[in-house]
Structure 1
């Protein structure tokens, strides 16, 4: 029981629970906005009269509620764009600022025995363990190779 209590009281679980509740409330607000304002505008642009949410078409004896689908699509696009622009982009920029990505490759040269690429300052090849000839020190290079 102590392990379960410590799991529940950890910050990540509480943050996740709060995020889910706020997400559900935000979804309700976006759905209300879409059904009250945006869907009637789509109906106006399409020349439809009445409640766009109740629009259907019939094939045989089956009715297809395309108005509700349009509502759902508009809600999804609004939620996805709001989450992207208000959460994902700022978090990515903050992450890049705090921990910049450094993908610096050490200069390489080929091993004369097996032709595998090895770091330029290596003494032996990692693939065949052949000794490698010394590399002359470049001007401005502060790291010296010990012979």
Structure 2
């Protein structure tokens, strides 16, 4: 049971996935810090500044639309980086691998090999009969 688990964990895909999750989490925190530190203040400045910039209140309930825009920008930046740095290169690599496999000549099937062997044996027998008789019968 432990050997099976070790084989599962050591399989390349699982290790790669674990690394991707850790790097993705770290990158998301960097993007979130960037949007919180730079974009949210910019949104608040361009929406008029002041105490309620980037937010509005109805009956004392504050709706912070700048936080939503910030989260949306965080998502878009993270998705773009994941696409361009992970998905696109992996898709390109997979296409190259498929092309390399498709370029290789197809191996003959078992039936094709047996047919070729049969034809070669017939040719040998025919050549043997014409020169010195049938080698199978000794004539």
Question: By the TM > 0.5 criterion, same fold?
Answer: yes
Q: For this structure pair, what is the TM-score category when the shorter chain's length is used for normalisation? A: 0.5 to 0.7
Cα distance 1:95–1:50, how it changes in 2: closer, same or farther (>3 A)?
farther
Shift of 1:50: 6.0
CA distance, structure 1, for counterparts of residue 72 and residue 90 of structure 2: 26
Shift of 1:93: 2.3
Cα distance 1:51–1:22, how it changes in 2: closer, same or farther (>3 A)?
farther
- Equivalent in the alignment of 1:59: 58
The 8 Å contact of residues 56 and 63 in structure 2, kept in 1 or not, is answered as yes
Cα distance 1:50–1:16, how it changes in 2: closer, same or farther (>3 A)?
farther
CA distance, structure 2, for counterparts of residue 28 and residue 84 of structure 1: 17
- Equivalent in the alignment of 1:44: 45
Q: Choose 89-98 or 15-24, whichever is displaced more.
A: 89-98
- 2:24 alignment partner, SS class: helix
- Equivalent in the alignment of 2:20: 19
- Equivalent in the alignment of 1:123: none
The 8 Å contact of residues 40 and 51 in structure 1, kept in 2 or not, is answered as no
TM-score, normalisation: structure 1 = 0.56
1:35 aligns with 2:36: yes
More helix per residue: 1 or 2?
Answer: 2
Higher-RCO chain (CA-CA 8 Å, sequence separation at least 6): 2
Structure 1 gaps, min length 5: 103-147
TM-score, normalisation: structure 2 = 0.59
CA distance, structure 2, for counterparts of residue 49 and residue 99 of structure 1: 58
Shift of 1:38: 2.1
- 1:63 alignment partner, SS class: strand
Shift of 1:78: 0.6
- 1:48 alignment partner, SS class: coil
The 8 Å contact of residues 40 and 67 in structure 2, kept in 1 or not, is answered as no
